[in-house]
Structure 1
Amino acid sequence: MNFFVNATMPKQKSGIEHAQLKRFELFNNHQVDSRIILRDWDPVAHVNANAAGIPDNQLINMFDYFQEAVTVTPKTLHAQEIEFGVPNVQFADEPANNRYLVTAQNGQLVARVNYDATADKRVRSTELFDGYNNLFRVDHYDSRGFASLIQWYTTDNQIGTETWVTPSGRTVIETFNKKTMAGEFVKSGWRLIEHGGHVMQFDTIEELTKHFFDRLNDDFWSEEQPNVFVLDRSHLGDWGLLRLRKPAYVVMHLHNSHAGDAQDPTHAILNNHYEFAMNALDEYDAVVSATHKQTHDVNERFQPKTRLFTIPVGVVPDRLLQAERVPVARREFGKVIAFARIAWEKHLDDLVRAVGIVHKEFPQVTLDLYGYADPADNYKARTSVEEAIREYGLEGVVTMKGYTTEIDAVENNA
């Protein structure tokens, strides 16, 4: 089996997800079986994966796997179907907040039920309160209609214990949040209760993930044809996949520069996302880069014994190759576009400054930025772009358009 490992499959995808989906489509087109493996818990993973063309029978989420919920017949769960343990509760809809307030006959607040306004008010979560109006529990619901994650709150309103349950309500995973000497809440361990009642304790989610990889490797084990793990986000398995109980063919896929400074790949400090992997290259069966230049740079700096491959991640579908070309004369003069997550490593503020310089001589030039803003450092990258816009007086010239999937139409006018 071919496993393509990622964190989740968000609605707004980065280049890594798009590359992974192109590979997945390629394998399917050639009748080569594969599975998308998602490590992180995500209540709408199946909604987003299905919308991206991944059927449930080719999707395995780690939490689903242990929750016995890889394949579940979906249903839309409404607030009125939930049992709150209090008779004759009343529901008051607050559409502006996408929630119901649930009260007892005496007016006491029992719960807040948050729903998805775009999906027939499907329940997303319930916030439960005690007789003193203290929040003590939050139940998060999978989009397929069952409680999945239950968070228990401490008296000082912190998440103390988190439990993941099966669709029938049996607890299978627990994690415990404890306060450090510095006053921070951190996870102090993971507890897994397997189907037969066997209990396992893990210090970190990386250890739990390694156990999950071992289970997957066992489930699809074949001496004649070893499983292939393609690691698309290194931090999810760069340690665990190198320590599998049984052999497998493990591939590290470099989707970004391995160096912190891409202009100096030979000497610059390593990209922290790849630091472990680049120092353990020879433990992988293969390393894939998207360009011949990066493959050369990796070989030049590390001189690994493992096999290096160059496999481009960009794939142009036939419908685009056969589409009519739009001549420049029919495009909007001066329209510059960029598709990128608004993050510091994209240097979009420099692009704005370049447009600012050009705009002084060619006032027809405009720039549209398509992509979601990275929240790192309190949206520092977006703030830098906004500052560059003000610096050059480009209000109305440079526009942040947000995320789009209509790339063809946008490019054909630029």
Structure 2
Amino acid sequence: MRVYNINKAVGLASSGVEYAQVYRRRLFADIPWVDDYYVFTDYIGTNISYFSDRLDFPRPQVLWIYNLVTGRGAAPFALTIEAFVSMISQPHSDPQPRPGHIEVALTDSAVRYRIKTTDDRYVDRVETVVRDQLVRVDHYDASLNNVEYFHDNHLLRRDFYTPGGVIAAQQFYRGDAIARTLITPASPLHETPHRRRGRRSSSFRGDIVLEGRSQFFQFVFAHLFSRPDDLVIVDRALDVIDGIYPVIGEHRLYSVVHAEHFDLKQIDDGVLLWNNHYENVFTRPELVDGLIVSTHRQRERLEHQLAAQGLAGDLSVTCIPVGIAAPVAVESEHDPFAVVTASRLAEEKHIDVLIRAVSAARKRLPELRLDIYGEGDRGRLIAVIDELHAAEYVTLKGHHKLEGVLGAYGLYASASTSEGFGLSLLEALAEGLPIVGFDVDYGNREMVESGVNGCLVPCTLSDRDVDALADAIVHVLDSPSVTEMRRESLRKAEGYTAANVRKLWERLLREGEPC
């Protein structure tokens, strides 16, 4: 069985969706009858393997939609700065370091090349600038992958190349949106049948012409879903699912609900508003074989709401945790006053609130410190750290693999006000950390039991939240039962072992039944 896991993008500041796919890949690796692939549909300017390698996705299993069109696989960078400069035939300056790039200027010309690298050696992309206007960007992996053309700072066209250097596809844009795609005879998808499952396409001078984003997606997916046992799991449905529906045929299709599935702000008459990321799925039950959520609490609420909409019999809901845990010994040494959190540095994670809470808690626990793992908007958090003069005890640690790291801390704290699951919470449980957070669905309430393995406090979305978190941090770390709380976290983590979660996936994939 081939299982295609479809997502929009992957990056350095990856979200819980990408990490959920990472855990899923580890589970599928031990199911011998599953061949799993991870398809990314957004245009990604940097070589996709630069991001997917850091999440340990095996390159043969990473399928970027544009690489499918050109016959490329995910590949490492190969073009050195020296090699690129040697390709410039006109007289030019020596490479000059500039902030964020290396610059080469043509002699007696308005043309400059801005060479962007990822590790100071290999070329990621080269921007061609004429009289301070960006006109072209060449993107590289093992060779030239694609070229972008601009006019008046607006994207006009992208050309995508085969590994042999021939254009396999040209894509034209209007307002930064895909307007038309030409699939040339050089594309490996050109020679295979493309008039099937009701998809419309036409030919012009040997090129297959596809109008808009949706038809482009349909074309590629129709070729990808080619075996009877192919199964599709969509991790981000918005702007993707409409390219799958027309070509899914008899293949099974599941949609993963990673976040709150409805709008918490109800309209005046009380009518339920679906989260727009999932509305397309919820309202087309005849095309979807099932929904997958990560907590029992969310499954119960979603089933109740579907029933109220008359959809209970049309959409099955399966609960499969998005993460797995490998518990470690609670006796491992740790700093009892070290607090840790891990997430994207995004506004909705409210890490600024947590920084203020730790600062307030230090009035009672002067040895307290906070380490923050993750990437994103550092500037906003640095401003809070500077405001509180907290640089001595608050550290932005950046992106880091957390396995075997969290156990050295005394407490995991979260200020997020909504978690579909909370992978970092599970990682904290697996290393025996008590947890402090807000009393909100879904992950917090599923993984944290106040007084047993941590503390949940009411969320008011006001300044009172800082004091509430500070009080909870002090309460847990000062508690005579904090050691028992660490043991209780380990016990809770046992329910999320790889063996247990793998069985749920095997049942769904083999039998198609809710777990």
Identify the TM-score tier after normalising by the shorter chain: 0.7 to 0.9
Question: Secondary structure of the equivalent of 1:92?
Answer: coil
Match of 2:141 in 1: 143
Distance between the aligned counterparts of 2:303 and 2:79, measured in 1?
52
Distance between the aligned counterparts of 2:363 and 2:265, measured in 1?
30
Deviations 1:213-261 (A, max 9, x none): 111112xx12xx3x11111112252222222253211010111221333
Question: Secondary structure of the equivalent of 1:363?
Answer: coil
Once the 2 structures are TM-superposed, how far is the Cα of residue 199 of structure 1 from its aligned partner? 1.8
Q: 1:192 aligns with which of 176, 182, 189?
A: 182
Residue 355 (structure 2) pairs with residue 346 (structure 1): no
Match of 2:156 in 1: 160
- Pairwise mapping of residues 12-161 of structure 1 onto structure 2 (< 5 A)? 12-31=13-32, 32-42=34-44, 43-70=46-73, 75-81=78-84, 86-87=89-90, 89-97=91-99, 98-104=101-107, 107-116=108-117, 118=119, 121-128=121-128, 133=131, 135=133, 137-144=135-142, 146-154=143-151, 156-161=152-157
Contact 2:292 2:319 in 1 (8 A): yes
Distance between the aligned counterparts of 2:97 and 2:402, measured in 1?
30
Distance between the aligned counterparts of 1:72 and 1:412, measured in 2?
36
Against the structure 1 CA distance between its residues 397 and 281, is the aligned structure 2 distance closer, same or farther, given a 3 Å change threshold?
Answer: farther
Against the structure 1 CA distance between its residues 337 and 128, is the aligned structure 2 distance closer, same or farther, given a 3 Å change threshold?
Answer: closer
Q: 2:340 aligns with which of 326, 337, 340?
A: 337
Which amino acid in the other structure matches residue 402 of structure 1? G
Contact 1:176 1:190 in 2 (8 A): yes
Match of 2:233 in 1: 230
Match of 2:225 in 1: 217
Against the structure 1 CA distance between its residues 83 and 369, is the aligned structure 2 distance closer, same or farther, given a 3 Å change threshold?
Answer: closer
Against the structure 1 CA distance between its residues 273 and 391, is the aligned structure 2 distance closer, same or farther, given a 3 Å change threshold?
Answer: farther
Match of 1:181 in 2: none
Deviations 1:281-306 (A, max 9, x none): 45310111100111111101112322
Which amino acid in the other structure matches residue 125 of structure 2? S
- C-alpha RMSD of the superposition: 3.3
Farther-moved stretch of structure 1 (69-78 vs 335-344): 69-78
Contact 1:19 1:313 in 2 (8 A): yes
Against the structure 1 CA distance between its residues 103 and 395, is the aligned structure 2 distance closer, same or farther, given a 3 Å change threshold?
Answer: closer
Question: Secondary structure of the equivalent of 1:300?
Answer: helix
Distance between the aligned counterparts of 1:76 and 1:326, measured in 2?
49
Against the structure 1 CA distance between its residues 188 and 331, is the aligned structure 2 distance closer, same or farther, given a 3 Å change threshold?
Answer: closer
Against the structure 1 CA distance between its residues 113 and 168, is the aligned structure 2 distance closer, same or farther, given a 3 Å change threshold?
Answer: farther
Q: Across the two proteins, how many residue pairs are aligned to each other?
A: 380
Deviations 1:364-403 (A, max 9, x none): 33332222225xxxx8xx63x5676577775544443332
Contact 1:241 1:250 in 2 (8 A): no
Contact 2:167 2:184 in 1 (8 A): no
- Pairwise mapping of residues 305-324 of structure 1 onto structure 2 (< 5 A)? 305-317=314-326, 321=327, 323-324=328-329
Against the structure 1 CA distance between its residues 134 and 116, is the aligned structure 2 distance closer, same or farther, given a 3 Å change threshold?
Answer: closer
Against the structure 1 CA distance between its residues 124 and 160, is the aligned structure 2 distance closer, same or farther, given a 3 Å change threshold?
Answer: same
Once the 2 structures are TM-superposed, how far is the Cα of residue 356 of structure 1 from its aligned partner? 4.3
Against the structure 1 CA distance between its residues 297 and 177, is the aligned structure 2 distance closer, same or farther, given a 3 Å change threshold?
Answer: same
- Pairwise mapping of residues 368-407 of structure 1 onto structure 2 (< 5 A)? 368-374=371-377, 383=380, 394=390, 396-407=392-403
Against the structure 1 CA distance between its residues 59 and 77, is the aligned structure 2 distance closer, same or farther, given a 3 Å change threshold?
Answer: same
Distance between the aligned counterparts of 1:356 and 1:78, measured in 2?
46
Distance between the aligned counterparts of 2:209 and 2:393, measured in 1?
58
Deviations 1:62-81 (A, max 9, x none): 10011221376974344545
Distance between the aligned counterparts of 2:350 and 2:153, measured in 1?
39
With structure 1 as the length reference, what TM-score do the two structures score? 0.79
Q: 1:277 aligns with which of 271, 276, 281?
A: 281
Which amino acid in the other structure matches residue 346 of structure 2? A
Contact 2:10 2:18 in 1 (8 A): yes
Which amino acid in the other structure matches residue 149 of structure 2? W
- Pairwise mapping of residues 267-306 of structure 1 onto structure 2 (< 5 A)? 269-303=273-307, 304=312, 305-306=314-315
Question: Secondary structure of the equivalent of 1:206?
Answer: helix
Distance between the aligned counterparts of 1:400 and 1:71, measured in 2?
31
Q: 1:325 aligns with which of 316, 324, 330?
A: 330
Residue 240 (structure 2) pairs with residue 243 (structure 1): no
Contact 2:129 2:136 in 1 (8 A): no
Deviations 1:128-180 (A, max 9, x none): 356xx464632322221x222222222x34333332232334333333344xx
| Stretches of structure 1 lacking an aligned partner (at least 5 in a row) | 179-184
Contact 1:93 1:99 in 2 (8 A): yes
Once the 2 structures are TM-superposed, how far is the Cα of residue 19 of structure 1 from its aligned partner? 1.3
Residue 422 (structure 2) pairs with residue 413 (structure 1): no
Once the 2 structures are TM-superposed, how far is the Cα of residue 39 of structure 1 from its aligned partner? 1.2
Distance between the aligned counterparts of 1:157 and 1:365, measured in 2?
49
Match of 1:359 in 2: 362
Against the structure 1 CA distance between its residues 390 and 101, is the aligned structure 2 distance closer, same or farther, given a 3 Å change threshold?
Answer: closer
| Stretches of structure 2 lacking an aligned partner (at least 5 in a row) | 191-205, 411-515
Against the structure 1 CA distance between its residues 388 and 125, is the aligned structure 2 distance closer, same or farther, given a 3 Å change threshold?
Answer: closer
Structure with more contact order per residue of length (Cα contacts < 8 Å, sep ≥ 6): 2
Question: Secondary structure of the equivalent of 2:73?
Answer: coil
Against the structure 1 CA distance between its residues 293 and 177, is the aligned structure 2 distance closer, same or farther, given a 3 Å change threshold?
Answer: same
Contact 2:76 2:141 in 1 (8 A): no
Distance between the aligned counterparts of 1:360 and 1:74, measured in 2?
50
Question: Secondary structure of the equivalent of 2:94?
Answer: strand
